[in-house]
């Protein structure tokens, strides 16, 4: 496996127009990287981008058009990294949550990986809402062995019977997908990792409060001291994408100020946790 990243090649960032995605673009631009941004917002990141593509990742026709435009406009073999930040909260319909948070990431990752060069990377954004992925690992492995139409059919029939809400399910699934994709890419020199933030102070935080409940969000934040700033999540993403992380592969990096470590080691008493709101919109 090649242990060096592509030197100063451009980086594709989805969800680039706000929040964590915009913070990632700012860090990359500061280090001299060219940015190829993707967002449903026609305005790209605040630092500008070499190319900006408007795409609703919930729309299969738009995703296919994005693939065609990228193939035509960009030498994908020169791209250093694909960073999949785009996602939607659980206040969106369940089908959209699955489509954007999992299927679009998988499709875009496979598309670019077919042209990437050794040393390039893929970084996906999960969530600490997906920390329970190991409890349902067999379900995700079986599901992710299916093609997109089969997954959509499965989701239509079974999304109400799974033991977690659609958002948590989608984030657990993208964590498992990232680990599996690292295995798919063995021998190519391309690495795949996933970053899972805790609560982040972005324009979407009120939406997550609506999704999970104020009491639960406040309880989580109380153990890490505060919500993260977008640039703090961007630091971890940048390191995995283009930093000196050449032997880090198939890794799930939690970035939550220590909250998850408290759950795992027991210094957080989960018995005191307010019940999380379960949001499921058909």
Instruction: Kindly tell me if the per-residue pLDDT of 2 is higher than 70.
Output: no
When pLDDT is averaged across residues 130-157 and rounded to a whole number, the result is 98
When pLDDT is averaged across residues 268-280 and rounded to a whole number, the result is 95
When pLDDT is averaged across residues 182-203 and rounded to a whole number, the result is 97
| Helix, strand, coil abundance in the chain, percent, nearest 5 | 50, 10, 40
Structure tokens at 45: 């990141």
Are 133 and 172 spatial neighbours (Cβ–Cβ below 8 Å)?
yes
Q: What is the mean pLDDT of the chain?
A: 96
Instruction: Kindly tell me if the per-residue pLDDT of 3 is higher than 50.
Output: no
- Taking only the tens place, the pLDDT of each residue in 75-114 is 999 999 999 999 999 999 999 999 999 999 999 999 999 9
Instruction: Kindly tell me if the per-residue pLDDT of 1 is higher than 50.
Output: no
- Taking only the tens place, the pLDDT of each residue in 240-258 is 999 999 999 999 999 999 9
Distance, in Å, from the CA atom of 143 to the CA atom of 150, rounded to the nearest integer, reads 9
77: left (phi over 0), alpha (psi -120 to 50) or beta: alpha
Are 192 and 125 spatial neighbours (Cβ–Cβ below 8 Å)?
no
- Report the 10 Å Cβ neighbour count for 8: 13
Q: What does the pLDDT read at residue 7? A: 55
Q: What does the pLDDT read at residue 45? A: 98
When pLDDT is averaged across residues 125-140 and rounded to a whole number, the result is 98
Residue ranges of the domains in the chain? 11-272
Residues 6+ apart with CB under 8 A from 60: none
- Taking only the tens place, the pLDDT of each residue in 196-222 is 999 999 999 999 999 999 999 999 999
Distance, in Å, from the CA atom of 223 to the CA atom of 200, rounded to the nearest integer, reads 14
Q: What does the pLDDT read at residue 5? A: 45
Distance, in Å, from the CA atom of 144 to the CA atom of 109, rounded to the nearest integer, reads 14
Spatial CA neighbour of 79 closest among 47, 46, 51: 51
Q: Dihedrals φ, ψ of 223, to 5°?
A: -90, -20
Q: b vs e for 66-79, b when ≥16 Cβ sit within 10 Å of the residue's Cβ?
A: beeebeeebebeeb
Q: What does the pLDDT read at residue 8? A: 82
Instruction: Kindly tell me if the per-residue pLDDT of 6 is higher than 70.
Output: no
Distance, in Å, from the CA atom of 147 to the CA atom of 138, rounded to the nearest integer, reads 17
Distance, in Å, from the CA atom of 246 to the CA atom of 2, rounded to the nearest integer, reads 8
Q: What does the pLDDT read at residue 147? A: 98
Are 128 and 224 spatial neighbours (Cβ–Cβ below 8 Å)?
no
At the fourth CATH level, the homologous superfamily of domain 11-272 is: NAD(P)-binding Rossmann-like Domain (3.40.50.720)
């Amino acid at each position: 496996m090649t242990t060096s990243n592509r030197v100063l090649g451009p980086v594709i960032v989805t969800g680039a127009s706000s929040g964590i995605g915009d913070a990632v673009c700012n860090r990359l631009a500061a280090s001299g990287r060219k940015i190829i941004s993707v967002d449903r917002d026609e305005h790209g990141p605040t630092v500008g981008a070499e190319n900006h593509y408007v795409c609703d990742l919930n729309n299969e026709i738009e995703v296919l058009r994005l693939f065609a435009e990228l193939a035509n406009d960009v030498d994908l073999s020169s791209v250093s990294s694909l960073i999949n930040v785009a996602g939607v909260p659980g206040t969106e319909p369940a089908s959209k949550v699955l489509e954007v948070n999992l299927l679009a990431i998988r499709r875009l990752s496979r598309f670019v990986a077919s042209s990437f060069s050794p040393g390039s990377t893929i970084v996906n954004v999960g969530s600490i809402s997906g920390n329970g992925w190991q409890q349902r690992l067999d379900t995700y492995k079986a599901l992710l062995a299916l093609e997109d139409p089969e997954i959509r059919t499965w989701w239509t029939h079974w999304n109400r019977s799974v033991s977690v809400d659609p958002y948590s399910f989608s984030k657990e699934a993208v964590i498992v997908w990232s680990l599996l994709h690292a295995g798919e890419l063995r021998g190519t020199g391309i690495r795949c990792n996933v970053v899972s933030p805790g609560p982040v102070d972005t324009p979407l935080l009120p939406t997550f409060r609506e999704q999970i409940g104020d009491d639960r969000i406040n309880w989580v934040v109380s153990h890490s001291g505060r919500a993260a700033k977008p640039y703090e999540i961007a630091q971890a993403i940048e390191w995995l994408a283009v930093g000196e992380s050449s032997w880090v592969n198939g890794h799930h990096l939690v970035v939550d100020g220590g909250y998850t470590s408290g759950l795992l080691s027991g210094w957080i008493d989960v018995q005191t946790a307010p019940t999380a709101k379960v949001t499921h919109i058909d």
